[in-house]
A = this chain, B = another copy of it.
Amino acid sequence: MEIKEGTASSILSGDKRSIARAISAVENGDEGITELLKQVFPNTGHALVIGVTGAPGSGKSTLVDALAARYRSSGQTVGIIAVDPSSPFTGGAILGDRIRMQSMATDPGVFIRSMAARGHLGGLASATTDAVAILDAARYDKIIVETVGVGQDEIDIVKTADVTVVVLVPGMGDDIQAIKAGIMEISDVFVINKADRDGVLRTEKELESMLSITERADGWRPPIIKTVATRAEGLNELAGAIESYASHLENAGSKANGRRTTVAEHRIKEMLRERLFRLAFEKATTEAEFKEMAQMVADRRRDPYSVVEEILGRLGIG
Contacts and interface: CB of A to CB of B under 8 A. Distances in A.
A217 interface: no
A101 interface: no
Given A175-B57, A267-B304, A305-B41, A261 B298 contact: yes
A52 interface: no
A230 interface: no
Contacts of A283: 317
Q: State the 3 A-B residue pairs at the shortest beta-carbon distance, nearest first.
A: A151-B151, A87-B181, A56-B178
A174 to B, nearest CB: 4
Contact of A149 (B116, B149, B311): B149
28 contacts: A38-B303, A41-B305, A42-B303, A56-B178, A86-B150, A86-B152, A86-B183, A87-B181, A88-B152, A94-B178, A116-B181, A149-B151, A149-B178, A150-B151, A151-B152, A151-B154, A152-B152, A257-B299, A261-B291, A261-B294, A261-B295, A264-B304, A269-B277, A269-B281, A272-B280, A276-B280, A276-B315, A277-B277
B94 A180 contact: yes
Given A94-B178, A151-B154, A181-B89, A268 B280 contact: no
Contact of A175 (B56, B89, B154, B155): B56
Interface string A297-314: 111100111111001100
Contact of A297 (B56, B172, B264): B264
A44 B149 contact: no
A155 B88 CA distance: 10
B56 A268 contact: no
Contact of A305 (B178, B179, B271): B271
B279 A181 contact: no
Contacts of A311: 272
